[in-house]
Amino acid sequence: MLRRSAAFLLLLGLGPAPRLAAQTAPRHARLEGKWQAKGEDEVRNIMVRSDSSAQFGDQVARWRVVGDSLWITLGDGVWQVYGMKLEGDKLKLAGGDLEKPVTLRRVGPATVRADSVAIPPPSRLAPSAPGTDG
């Protein structure tokens, strides 16, 4: 059985995306936006915001970037760590509790998080290196 964070990421599906020009924003800001993956039967969306939240439907996670890794928690105190490769508007995630790599494509800017949507609390075990968000 997959952990909840892997299930959260796997809901995104898989799909190839064209390589676009790299952005010049700070590393943590480059993840902001509406990301999309095309599964076999549907399109999946995830919103990544600068306030360190990531949302898929009504499920909300907290995220951070440390070096070339993406850290994600759903508020249970457990951080899953994924290898991350960001090239323009194409994001590849691998490792952690994923069975196979996931590829996402940025399709737009992030929307503002509603005040009624709570971000999971930060964990005492959270990364705190330069270049992190949240």
> What CATH number should be reported for the domain holding residue 88?
2.40.128
Residue 54: which residues within 8 A CB-CB, separation 6 or more?
A: 46, 47, 48, 60, 61, 62, 63, 72
Domain hosting 93: range is: 4-16+32-108
**Is 53 within the bounds of a domain?**
yes
pLDDT band at 54 (very low <50, low <70, confident <90, very high): very high
| Total of domains in the chain | 1
Instruction: State pTM to two decimals.
Output: 0.69
pLDDT digits (tens, 9 = 90+) for 57-106: 888 999 999 999 999 988 887 888 999 999 999 999 899 988 888 899 99
Residue (of 81, 94, 21, 8) closest to 48 by Cα position: 8
Residue matched to tokens 């457990």: 78
